[in-house]
Structure 1
Amino acid sequence: MIIQHNISALNAYRNFGRNQSDLDKSLRELSSGYKINRAADDAAGLAISESMRNKINGLDQAKNNAQDGISMIQIADGALTEVHAMLERGTTLATQAANDTYTDDVRKNIDAEFQELKKEIDRISETTEFNGVHMLKGLHAAGNIDSTASVLSDEEIEQAKKDVKNIVCNTGQSILNTFSSLRNGYPNTDVNITLKSLPGTTLANAGGTMSGGKGYIVVNADLQKIDSYSTATYESTLAHEMMHGVMGVALRNAGSGMAQLKEGDNQWFVEGTAQAVGGIFSAGWNLDVRSAANSASTDEARVASVKNALGNHGGPTSEVYGTGALMTAYIGYLASGSAASDGSIALGVTGNASKIATGINNILGEIINNGKTLEQAIYDTTGRTESDIMSDFSGRNSSDNLVNFLVNVSKEAGSTGCGSVVSGLNSSLSNNSYYNNYSGSTFNVLGVDASAFGNVNSSVTLQIGPSAEETIEIFKFDMSSEGLGLSDVDVLSRQGANDAMGKLQEAVNSTSLTRAYFGAKQNRLEHTLNNLEVSNENTVSAESRIRDTDMAKSISKHTKSNIMMQAAQSMLAQANQSPQGVLSLLG
């Protein structure tokens, strides 16, 4: 019998503490309704639960957003219901005025109501809004959701000529002219370059597709940001990005019997060609290249300065853009048939600006028409491998010579300006040209679509999910009398009334198309809302299984823990009394 240590009491005390902890945990679960109340309860489960809670909150708000979108569309559609009614009344008035039983004086009375209807259409277009968002005075022409072409009038043609000069200059057409062999790889196929508004922070980007005998190069431009750039800068930026699109169509078109340029394999060639087209041969960038080259005294500094000058115009990665431009220009120079000695690349550059373009064109032609790899195409057109040419940059030819080569080509290129394109428009545009009203003033000239720049807000974006990419775009439409083509329409004469009937029918059709567009979007949003509700329900259910407590199970645990703790407390008391038996030995 020992008295220094009461092992029984220690054991009872340990069990008492464990039962107390279990009781505390069951009390937390029962009082909160959650089996995970702190990270220590279940670290992994807590992380999953919090992630799901975040998604649930996003889904809840996304449901509200979708419902708001439906409400907005319903308001717009309701307003257009009355526009339809007024157009139908206008048709009645025009038909009445077209009858020669009415004199022109009587027609004035008919026209008075007709003009009031137009004013009311304008008022509805101007004032129909949802929380300050106007849906019926946007930039999209009524019903023109697929850029349907219509024939230009003589006045519109003249305006289009001026617009082209101010916007695209020679940017797009110079690409198509310089790389004309791109068309040869696609018989009976037109390559169209389309400019569209791009919300966000990117200045411009491009991509291309080719299917069904039609080629499309879409250049996305941030119209608001691009306003702050000089004309020369954004023309060069667009030229650079358009070339990305051209090469995307030409070199990455899998399944057409042509070689596929893999992503990342020859980035220097893709970027270098885009830079060559968009920058090296344009006047503004030539000045920067020459200035950069002349600002440094050593070969190394000149190379770095020129690379940075090219990179500043073309994008954030000056090394890729600058080196790529140098390499591409040099390969084009070799492919044009101009020989370079080991000692100096700078020799014989007179007249080589066009030769370089021709050389690059030949390489692309080899790839497109013969399905060759870039490496093989370079070898066939220059007699040298890609590795041989790269060694020129680090071995036999000094960097200073490379810079001299580029600077001299830049000097020789000079400025082409917009004159050649504008003069070409005068002979190319006719009443058979097309005017596409997509966003702002959009038009098609020589196979190049362009749109006027300006601060535009031609659509509403609905956030219908907790991720940034989960959006639905809804276009705004100009449903004013001008947008419907009725601004100058009257019924003051029989001929005017006859013309009005045709215009009103077109306006009715446009309004119907617009309402059909809104209806389709509403149906989509209703399905979106159903899906959000199902997703929210299932996510809540999954989160509940992880975090919520099973009350029946927790009550059972609580009852057990409570009994065990009372038993442990009683046994601890008895264990504390057991050493007192030693006193009986002292008798």
Structure 2
Amino acid sequence: MPIRIGSNVASINAGRHLDKNSADFALRIERLSSGLRINRGADDAAGLSVSEGMRAELKGMKQAVSNAEQGVSLIQLAEGSLNEVSAMLGRLRELAVQSANSTLNDENRGSLAAEFNQLIAEIDRIGNSTRYNGNNLLTGFGNLVEQDPAVSTALNGFTGATEVDISGAMPGTYTFTDTSNTDNQITLSIDLPDGTQLSQAIDVGPTLDREVQGGTGRNLVATGTTFVANFDRLGVSVTLVGPDVDKGNTAQRSQTAAPDFSGLDPTATESNIIIGDRVAIIDPAVDATLDAVAKKLQDAVVGLDPPVSVELNTETGDSFYPSEIQINANGHPLTDVGNILNLSGGNSYSDGRLDGKKIFIDDAGGGGLFQVGPSGDPNDRIALNIGDMRATGNELNLNGISVANQESSRQAIARIDTAILVVSRQRGDLGAVQNRLQFTSSNLGNAIQNLQAAEAAIRDADIAEEISQFSRAQILSQAATAMVTQANALPQNALQLLQ
């Protein structure tokens, strides 16, 4: 090998190997100190991408476990309250049976009525006060809906509205049309988010055309969840926006998408018109006529707070002649939502045809959905629907029952029996969802373990291998350092030749 002074190739070569070994040595120190094989994209670009996706999914799954556990706590709270409601319903039935006996007089029944009414009030109080993190559970928990401000229609310069409660309905578009040749029948067409189309014929009662004669203070009161309007060739579309339909659950889809509709035949008395026991026009001066073509839709979906505010409009030429008329729903006047049909001057009003008019309803908050997965997919959500479990709510429907006499006591027994069945069914549903959430939590724990292992295989360092490579890099770095020193000494040989 020639001896040169200008270029020390041996030193350059030794220095290059020293840099390489030092970099490898530093890499091994980084991996051993962090415990990770991938600390930056340059270490393994593809591996980093896969690992980051897994890490995000793991965080979501861990939160989903917490969500499921909180869901169980919510259900336990609701079920515990319903357990007390069941006990009180049993006591109410006991009092009603006792009051139905002929051995009691009015004074005795008055004593029973005092406890009876207190228990009814307590069931209502429990329903109104059972909350989880501020959410009411027993006044209706599920597809909460609110007024859609986009729905605003004028009736000859006046605005009218009606309220209806909705819960537990699958998202989709529900269209009611009078296309049947059969009297008192409308067709429900359902378009679900997955493209499924369903159709159901609904038998309904006759319509009610109202004429209010003079005076002030006329009230049309709608209680419960009954929704009443004149359905003369009615086309109504109800759009629910919320969780998508579970495409793999045909049975649930069919059951929820085709709710139970029923019509109630109106009956007239001298002073009022009552449809079932839910809706009445109460005024001694009210005259009314029944029109066989009209339609009535009841209990499309059952009750939650806040109620839905829905506005209907009539075709041009429909007349609203004023009396002081207020339309109420669930006992709340429409002034609560800023819309009231309040007419002045004149003495009557009538509803015309409502062809093709629509009702739009938005999901207000997605209550009743437990996020039990890391994604926004519908399969990662579990729905919980709780009806209105108050005594005067739509589900128990104990409003107005009494033990004042034998006949009312016997009627109370039947309605209490129905309420007991409703509460028992609701508790069973809660238990089923609770068990599902517990199994979901267990499955998530297993999935987290396996996904964590998969992520570790990609990103974590193999400590045994890294220690071996660390020792190798350390020795090579030391050797390269020594060789750089030796290579730098080679030009000294040229000085000896010059002496």
TM-score by length of 2: 0.60
- Of Structure 1 and Structure 2, the greater helix share is in 1
Say if 1:35 and 1:548, in contact at 8 Å, map to a contact too: yes
User: Equivalent of 2:470, from 558, 562, 578?
Assistant: 558
Aligned 8 A contact 1:474 1:521 in 2: yes
Q: Is the contact made by 2:189 and 2:197 (CA closer than 8 Å) also made in structure 1?
A: no
In 2, Cα distance between the equivalents of 1:478 and 1:537?
A: 40
Partner of 1:209: 197
Query: Counterpart of 1:580?
Result: 492
Q: Distance in 1 between matches of 2:235 and 2:414?
A: 43
Task: State the match for 1:193 in structure 2.
Answer: 189
Tell me how far apart the structure 1 counterparts of residues 9 and 370 of structure 2 sit (CA, whole Å): 70
Structure 1 residue 81 corresponds to structure 2 residue 83: yes
Tell me the CA shift for residue 129 of structure 1: 0.9
What is the aligned partner in structure 2 of residue 61 from structure 1? 63
The answer as to whether partners of 1:3 and 1:579 remain within 8 angstroms in 2 is: yes
Q: How far 1:239 moved relative to its partner?
A: 6.1
Residue 462 (structure 1) aligned to one of 370, 385, 388? 370
- What is the Cα deviation at residue 72 of structure 1? 0.4
Task: Supply the distance in 2 between the matched residues of 1:467 and 1:482 (Cα, whole angstroms).
Answer: 39
After superposition, what is the alpha-carbon deviation per residue over 1:175-202, rounded to whole angstroms, capped at 9, x for unaligned? 553xx79x9xxxxx98423699xxxxxx
Q: Is the 8 A contact 2:38 2:459 kept in 1?
A: yes
How many angstroms does 1:140 deviate by?
8.1
SS in 2 for 1:462: strand
SS at match of 2:435: helix
SS in 2 for 1:472: strand
Quick one: distance in 2 between partners of 1:564 and 1:206? 64
Deviation at 1:113, TM superposition (A): 0.9
1:429/1:60 Cα in 2 relative to 1: closer, same or farther (>3 Å)?
same
Determine if contact 2:191/2:197 at 8 Å carries over to the other structure.
no
Alignment CA distance shift 1:215-1:206 (3 Å): farther
Counterpart position of 2:155: none
Query: Superposed, which structure 2 residues align to 1:78-227 within 5 Å?
Result: 78-138=80-140, 176-177=178-179, 191-193=187-189, 208-210=196-198
Give distance in 2, aligned partners of 1:51 and 1:119: 54
Question: Which of 369, 387, 392 is residue 477 of structure 1 equivalent to?
Answer: 387
1:483-522 equivalences in 2 (<5 Å): 483=393, 484-522=396-434
Alignment of 1:533-544 (within 5 A): 533-544=445-456
Taking only the aligned residue pairs, the percentage that are identical comes to 35
- Whether contact under 8 Å (1:139, 1:458) holds in the other structure is no
Q: Which residue of 1 aligns with 2:292?
A: 427
3-state SS of 1:193 partner: strand
**C-alpha displacement at 1:467, in angstroms?**
1.6
Q: Who is 1:395 aligned against?
A: none
One-letter amino acid of the counterpart of residue 519, structure 1: G
1:13 Cα deviation after fit: 0.7
Describe how 1:244-263 pairs up with structure 2 within 5 A: none
1:568 aligns with 480
**Amino acid corresponding to residue 124 of structure 1 in structure 2:** I
Q: Is the 8 A contact 2:51 2:458 kept in 1?
A: yes
AA of the residue aligned to 1:37: N
**Partner of residue 38, structure 2:** 36
For 2:5 and 2:477, how far apart are their aligned partners in 1? 26
Match of 1:547 in 2: 459
**What are the superposed Cα offsets for residues 308-339 of structure 1, whole Å, 9 maximum, x if unpaired?**
xxxxxxxxxxxxxxxxxxxxxxxxxxxxxxxx
Q: Encode CA deviations 1:255-296: one digit per residue, 9 max, x unaligned.
A: xxxxxxxxxxxxxxxxxxxxxxxxxxxxxxxxxxxxxxxxxx
The question of whether the paired residues in 1 share the 8 Å contact of 2:239 and 2:360 is answered with: no
| Structure 2 SS opposite 1:86 | helix
Partners of 2:383 and 2:84 lie apart in 1 by: 25
CA distance in 2, matches of 1:573, 1:436: 93
Give the equivalent residue in structure 1 for 2:47. 45
CA gap of 1:194–1:90, structure 2 versus 1, over 3 A, is: farther
In structure 2, how many angstroms separate the alpha carbons of the residues matched to 1:552 and 1:454? 59
Structure 1 position 8 matched with structure 2 position 16: no
- Name the residue aligned to 1:346: none
Give 5+ residue unaligned stretches, structure 1. 142-161, 165-170, 184-188, 197-204, 217-234, 243-422, 443-447
Size of the aligned set, in residue pairs, is 339
Alpha-carbon distance between aligned partners in 2 of 1:21 and 1:118, rounded to the nearest angstrom:
80
Determine the C-alpha separation between the residues in 2 that align with 1:87 and 1:102.
21
Distance 1:176-1:500 versus aligned 2 partners, 3 A rule: closer
What secondary structure, in the 3-state scheme, does the structure 1 residue paired with 2:78 have?
helix
Give how far 1:531 is off: 2.3
| Distance in 1, Cα, partners of 2:402 & 2:360 | 30
Shift of 1:426: 2.2
- Normalising by structure 1, we get a TM-score of 0.52
State the superposition RMSD in angstroms. Answer: 4.0
CA contact (8 A) 1:140 1:439 kept: no
- Taking the aligned partners of 1:118 and 1:471, their CA distance within structure 2 comes to 35
Does the aligned pair in 2 maintain the 1:90–1:114 contact within 8 Å? yes
8 Å CA contact retained: 1:104, 1:493: yes
Q: For 2:450, what is the secondary structure of its paired residue? A: helix
AA aligned to 1:435 is Q
For 2:376 and 2:111, locate their aligned partners in 1 and report how far apart those are by CA, in whole Å: 56
By how many angstroms is 1:496 displaced?
1.6
Shift of 1:75: 0.5
Give the Cα–Cα distance (whole angstroms) in 1 for the partners of residues 478 and 23 of structure 2. 13
Distance 1:459 1:427, change over 3 A: farther
Q: Cα–Cα, structure 1 residues 241 and 208, in superposed 2: closer, same or farther, change >3 Å?
A: farther
